[in-house]
Amino acid sequence: MTLKYFNNLAYEEIGEKNSEIILFLHTKLLDKWIWKKQKENYNEYFNEYHCIFLDLPNHGDSKSDEDFSIKSSADEIMKFIKNLIDNKKIEKVNLVALGIGGSIAIEIINKEPQIIDNLILSGLEIADYAESENDSVVDRLAKTQSEYLNEKPDTFITKAYLRYFGIKKEHYNDVERILDRTIKEEKRIAFESLNYTIPENLRNNDEIIKKENILIIYGSKEDLNSTKSAIELKSIFKNARLVEIIKGNHLWNIIDYDLFNIIITDFIKDNHIEKNSKIVILE
């Protein structure tokens, strides 16, 4: 696939001949490579769709001189989506988002619900309240990290990230790209991710909170905040479906990609979720 750009956003795409679009948004610190199993298995699962794998602002090949923020990222990606809609002469796109990509997706649907069809969110990170950036847990961790990690070789740090994301050594070179980012940039992204709160106006917007074509997913091996965030979001989106992936972690789209691909395509086709020994359909 050829790397393409819309303004400062970098993306790859496959299946351009198809009219229905699935836009994939990755989790924090990583980039579009996390969808490699979806790309490799395109013909088996996604060949009816135009799939687009986007690098979030300040991630991967989407370079920016501005500090990362969820809200400004949502604005940039909304422009990208509207451009797609105009060019393809369609009304909506499907959105699949992990982690901080899910926070951006929530901002998008809050501002422009009419441009999103099916919305699938996994591994959410939603805070009860936002901290002050200069006196946050992230700020204190960053100071400790800079002192500790400066003494460690790059191989140690990359292996630590592999363990954190729960993925195999075969992804070493992909994860190593994180090291190209400064501690300051990493701190900013982490702060935005861990301090994202649901927009207050969304909670009272019936047009959005009554949508039925929303799927919320969390893995049983993710941290407690992801479980809590998924349940909280379900309490807002009353008609959304809520699913637990048994032994699933943050990047289950790589580890158990067959299950991921089946769930995504089944839900997009007809909002159906097939019962499976690896999942618990909660609501």
Domain assignment present for 146: no
CATH number, domain at 30?
3.40.50.1820
- H helical segments located in 95-136: 100-111
> pTM (2 decimals)?
0.90
Task: Please enumerate in sequence order all residues whose Cβ is within 8 A of that of 150, keeping only pairs 6 or more positions apart, or say none.
Answer: none
80 backbone dihedrals φ, ψ, rounded to 5°? -60, -45
Domain total in the chain? 1
Domain assignment present for 268: yes
Domain assignment present for 44: yes
Domain assignment present for 156: no
How far is the CA of 122 from the CAs of 2, 14, 27, 101, 159, in angstroms? 27, 22, 9, 9, 24
The domain containing residue 220 runs over which residues? 4-128+198-281
Give which of 102, 30, 67, 73 is closest to 188, Cα–Cα.
Answer: 67
pLDDT tens-place values along the chain, 283 residues long? 799 999 999 999 999 999 999 999 999 999 999 999 999 999 999 999 999 999 999 999 998 889 999 999 999 999 999 999 999 999 999 999 999 999 999 999 999 999 999 999 999 999 987 765 655 544 444 444 444 445 556 677 777 777 777 777 878 887 777 777 888 888 899 889 989 999 999 988 888 888 999 999 999 998 888 999 999 999 999 999 999 999 998 899 999 999 999 999 999 999 999 888 999 998 7
Domain assignment present for 63: yes
